[in-house]
Structure 1
Amino acid sequence: MVENAVSPDPDLVRALRALSNPMRLQLLLWLREPERHFSAEGAIADPAEVGICVTHIRAKAGLAQSTVSAYMAELERAGLVRATRVGKWTHYKRDEQRIAELVGTLGRTL
């Protein structure tokens, strides 16, 4: 019998689930240093301010647009990235504050 069992933070569980997929983790790692991993050529918005367009993420990952969109949506639901629309294109940027909060929660939880 478990005494004083505490349920895990649902936001933390959602983030860990999103990161359990190696490709989603890779996408998040690339977005940590967008200037290093993505060419600024052809960008319609500032990668540092707005984020990286799904088209550029798709090209680097070598995956179908729908797969990349689904992966990024999962990372967004987990609070790890933020999406910004620029015209008809969606750009993604890491949510550094939220990631730091989740890391802190993980440290306190484990």
Structure 2
Amino acid sequence: MTILDWLLAPYDHFSHQVTGDPHEIGLCVTWLIEKLGVAQPTVSRHLELLRRAEFVTVHRIGRWAFFKRNEAAIAAYKEWLREHL
């Protein structure tokens, strides 16, 4: 949830990303690792789960991975929850 929250407003949390607009290409995984203060494999595992759930998309530039929210998938899941809870 924290990662999704940060990705909702990346400028508020990661204004120092200079590799590209985080709203356009996403947020570099390196910044997430630094901000969370946990090991890279841990962050990668969380991001992979979010990707499999289709809550985030990944954009690769060279060896770098940039993640951004998939608003359509998140909205669909919220709607499903409303209908089934």
Q: TM-score, normalised by structure 2?
A: 0.93
Q: Distance in 2 between matches of 1:105 and 1:40?
A: 36
Among 31, 44, 47, the alignment partner of 2:7 is: 31
Larger radius of gyration: 1
User: For 1:40, which of 9, 13, 16 is the aligned residue?
Assistant: 16
Q: Aligned-pair distance for 1:39?
A: 2.4
Q: Within the alignment, does 1:95 sit opposite 2:61 as a pair? A: no
1:1-110 matches, within 5 Å, as: 25-41=1-17, 43-110=18-85
Which consecutive unaligned segments of at least 5 residues does structure 1 have?
A: 1-24
Q: Partners in 2 of 1:27 and 1:39 — Cα distance?
A: 15
CA deviation string 1:47-104 (max 9, x = no partner): 0111000001111111111111111011000111001101110000000011001101
What is the aligned length? 85
Q: Secondary structure in 2 aligned to 1:84?
A: strand
Paired position in structure 2 for 1:5: none
Partners in 2 of 1:62 and 1:39 — Cα distance?
Answer: 18
Calculate the aligned-residue CA RMSD, in Å.
1.0
- For residues 39 and 61 of structure 1, the distance between their equivalents in structure 2, rounded to whole angstroms, comes to 16
Which sections of structure 2, spanning at least 5 residues, go unmatched?
Answer: none
Deviations 1:21-42 (A, max 9, x none): xxxx11111111101011234x
User: Normalization by structure 1: what TM-score?
Assistant: 0.73
**In 2: Cα distance, 1:106 partner to 1:92 partner:** 24
